[in-house]
Amino acid sequence: MTGSNVRRTNRRDRCRRFTCGGMLALAGTASLSVAALAVAAGGDSSRVAVLDARELKPGGEATTPGSTDHRDAFSRFSNGIGLDGEARFKLGNAIFRKLWVSSPSSTKSSDGLGPLYNARGCQNCHLKDGRGRPPQADWPEETAVSMFLRLSVPPTSEEERRLLAEHRAATLPEPTYGGQLQNFSVQGHAAEGQMTIAYTDHPVKLGDGTVVTLRRPGYGVSNLGYGPMRADVMMSPRVAPQMIGLGLLEAIPEAAIRAAADPDDRDGDGISGRASEVWSRELGRVTLGRFGFKAGNPSVRQQSADAFNGDMGLSTSLFPRPSGDCTSAQSTCLSAPNGNSPSETDPEVSDQLLDLVTFYARNLAVPQRRGANTPEVLAGKASFAALGCATCHTPMHMTGDMPGQPHLSGQTIWPYTDLLLHDMGEGLADGRPEGVASGSEWRTSPLWGIGLTETVSGHTYFLHDGRARSIEEAILWHGGEAQAARDGYANLSKAERAALVAFVNSL
Ligand code: HEC
Ligand code: HEC
């Protein structure tokens, strides 16, 4: 690698901002043997990383000690959860796996599905607690299951603009189809339509002449069930993300995340990072957003309640409408029988059930690192820091105090995210603002566990819409604030690229 390709800006500043910890030791301070090993693996003799023993447990003491070579590698509970916690986790798991049915039904505790929905249970999308994937073909050959389109329209009135500015709404629903396209419906109702994807080849040339062909997706909707959509509709494709370590991400103190934001890029490293501001239905005020691909939800509980409502048409105390995402333009949908009980005041999903599924989602444990200390992985780790990947994919955080969850509190964790929004350029843009996030901003994805995607989910589709078919393709899609890091990767030698990917896969 040549110096010109490496982002050497202010590394020390970055570490001050992001607490890099003992991530990187420059040659001279590193022991000779490690340096020699890194060179042998095709690494750069001028940059060598060492392993901090704590990194072996990315989820701190909550890391699961279980084996990782297993389809259930993401399905274990946090270490230290306790016997009572284990019992609650198992009950929560049952709700996560439960298949809901439409109303009216004899199974009173499981009804209320729809009328419009994307899936009948959480697990259908977050299969094995892992990530979803795009369908391999358009409907009717294959129906999208673990992926859907979010929908919204730009504001047209002062009132709508004020709602958005005050963060009381993150988006304005498409007047007929609502906030997302539900491609399923219960009997007697029409599904809203089917997502279509058309990929076109997009070859990119790396520094050494290697050509990698990316696939550029184009999204559309077919078989509209309720007439035309507004012409200015904006669509954002989302695949279900992996579910591990969410309680730990929630336990990072808000102040620490905000402290790392640099909206005006004052440190001049080309990377800004903005905090997402969202309306908390639990607190009744604006707070930091952390979950979802644009950090549109403040807590695991609200995100879960949102999923019950938007993805399955089920009401909770946080989202009380039993008709889910039905709009006033879909009148039969609004007036359909629902599962609220007894006199429609109790939601279809009680607080008890919501709390159990939230507890489950908070406690899906992060697996241990694999092969973290090999020369190749250490060389890749050095590149990860030197190229600036770690500026957004912040390696280390400390969790604060989680009331009632001592096993998640006070942990040193390695999620590889700053939970901030970054402009990722035109290539990844969905053109659909959500809350403070613009049409080209996304929340830095956590990278822990990513190397187990194939083991758990049986595929290697990455990014918010699963367009990348490998870690390498995911990196090459980075643009905007991450353009320099992406170019740095593209200019590495083949062995250095392989080492960087090996490092990411070891997380
Ligand atoms: C139809 C597919 C689907 C279903 C069903 C579904 N999810 Fe999700 N889930 C998603 C998608 C897509 C996202 C990303 C959302 C976004 O970017 O706004 C997500 C995000 C999440 C997140 C945030 C993860 C993160 O890293 O930010 C949590 C927590 C979650 N879902 C929990 C649940 C729970 C609990 C249920 C069941 C009540 C559920 N989901 C049902 C597709 C689904
Ligand atoms: C400017 C901030 C930034 C920088 C720098 C950056 N990333 Fe990312 N990264 C992101 C964001 C934001 C996403 C999510 C994008 C999306 O889903 O469309 C992401 C996604 C990823 C993913 C896919 C994760 C998943 O679960 O789908 C990988 C892998 C990745 N980055 C690796 C890297 C590597 C390696 C580097 C350095 C060469 C790097 N990133 C540099 C912000 C950044």
State both tokens at 177. Answer: 């189809």
Torsion angle (degrees, nearest 10) of CA 84, 87, 90, 92: -60
Whether the pLDDT of residue 169 is over 70: the answer is yes
Taking CB atoms within 8 Å and a gap of at least 24, the contacts of 77-86 are: 77/363, 77/364, 77/365, 78/247, 78/363, 78/364, 78/365, 78/407, 78/408, 79/365, 79/407, 80/406, 80/407, 81/363, 81/407, 82/407, 85/359, 85/363, 85/407
Atom 13 (ligand 1) nearest CA: 240
* For the chain, counts of helices (H) and of strands (E): 16, 14
Torsion angle (degrees, nearest 10) of CA 439, 254, 410, 129: -30
Atom 3 (ligand 1) nearest CA: 125
Task: Give the mutation target among 1, 475, 507 for probing the ligand 2 site: most ligand atoms within 8 A of CB.
Answer: 475
Predicted TM-score (pTM) of this structure: 0.92
Whether the pLDDT of residue 12 is over 80: the answer is no
CA within 13 Å, CB half, 22? 9
Ligand 2 pocket, residue 389 CB under 6 Å: yes
pLDDT at position 344 is 54
Whether the pLDDT of residue 8 is over 70: the answer is no
pLDDT at position 345 is 64
Looking from the CA of residue 450, the nearest atom of ligand 2 is: 26
Whether the pLDDT of residue 340 is over 50: the answer is yes
Q: Residue range 428-457: average pLDDT?
A: 98
pLDDT at position 104 is 85
Give the ligand at the shortest distance from the Cα of 482. Answer: 2
Rounded CA-CA distance 98/175 in Å is 31
β partners of residue 346: 341
Looking from the CA of residue 312, the nearest atom of ligand 1 is: 5
Instruction: List CB contacts of 348: < 8 A, sequence separation 6 or more.
Output: 111, 112, 308, 314, 315, 316, 322, 338, 339, 340, 341
Rounded CA-CA distance 9/5 in Å is 12
| Short-list 347, 330, 340, 317, CA closest to 178 | 330
Helix segments in 98-245, DSSP class H: 122-125, 158-165
Ligand 2 pocket, residue 289 CB under 6 Å: no
Looking from the CA of residue 421, the nearest atom of ligand 2 is: 12
Cβ < 6 A, ligand 1 pocket: 118-119, 122, 124-126, 146, 148, 238-241, 246, 291-293, 296, 300, 303-304, 307-308, 311-312, 357, 361
Rounded CA-CA distance 19/231 in Å is 46
What is the CA(374)–ligand 2 centre distance, in A?
A: 23
Task: Give the mutation target among 443, 445, 486 for probing the ligand 2 site: most ligand atoms within 8 A of CB.
Answer: 445
pLDDT at position 108 is 73
**Least confidently predicted of 17-21, 61-65, 84-88, 183-187:** 17-21
What is the CA(124)–ligand 1 centre distance, in A?
A: 10
Q: Quickly tell me which residue has 């994307």 as its tokens.
A: 118
